[in-house]
Amino acid sequence: MRKTAVICGCFNPVTAQDVAFAIRLRREKQYDWIVFVPEAEGSLPRETRKDLLKAALKPYRHFGAGEMVKDADVYSSSAGPAEEAVRQGNYALAACGIRRMLGAEGLYFEDLVDACCNPHRAAHSRAVADLCRQLAEAHGLDGDLAWRAGMLHDITKGRSEEWGRRILERYEPGALQYAPPVWHSFTAPVWLKQNLGITDHELLSAVRNHTLGGGRTPLAMILYIADKTEPTRGYDSTREIALSTKDLAAGFALVKQEAAEWLKKEGVNG
């Protein structure tokens, strides 16, 4: 009869700390099999968290994800703080097998936006993401990708001007020619690559161009339009959204034309 241990936790998501604990436990206690059992409520449904566990544990042939095992020794995960840090954007603390999945699938982006943005900015990001999905699907494009771009576009807008200047001096010195309100467009792709491991060029380019409207890919146009016309901005954008739904390029041109006056008023160099 094989010697089995169960590790219980929320695993929201599973962290590198959890995996390291299981490796140490098996070595010290000589377990033949260790089962990770997700319990309690989390930001993601239990089955989704179990799927993430399976992906994270796939390289370890003595570990698995499942349910309680009779007569097994039971341990509790202590990685709660690390799980919270992952949900807030520190993907380096996640189990290595799921780090790219989190960013590629946008699994904790709502938690991430709530952690990085004030409530007004978080509500704006959600509204932009929903409109991005709507416009993308109207044109037969990837609605999930558009939603992710919308959720992430303002992720560094709450950072200080000093922080933004340091990032741009190192990675995007040419962007310093623009006024500080534009800087988050250029700092966000850097932050997304470094913290979330996002490498999707189309998404990063759309985020980079969402303020000044320099992008010409469908996703870049969608994000620019959605950012300027989403409902929480408080003005009637029915005409712009309707045109963009029918003709993306025409809608983009109209929204960009209307935004030019606002940019000038705000002192933004475009």
Distances (CA, A) of 246 to 152, 226, 240: 25, 14, 10
Report pLDDT for 2. Answer: 83
Domain 108-265 classification at class level: mainly alpha
pTM for the predicted model, two decimal places: 0.90
Q: What's residue 270's pLDDT?
A: 44
DSSP output for 174-229: GGGGS-HHHHHHHHHHHHIIIII----HHHHHHHHTTTT----SHHHHHHHHHHHH
- Confidence at residue 233, expressed as pLDDT on a 0 to 100 scale: 84
| pLDDT score at 267 | 61
Handedness of CA 127, 132, 138, 144 (dihedral sign): negative
Tell me the domain boundaries of the chain: 4-104, 108-265
Backbone phi and psi for residue 65, each to the nearest 5 degrees, phi listed first: -115, 135
CATH class of 4-104: alpha beta
Residues of the chain with pLDDT under 70: 1, 262-270
In this prediction, residue 268 carries a pLDDT of: 53
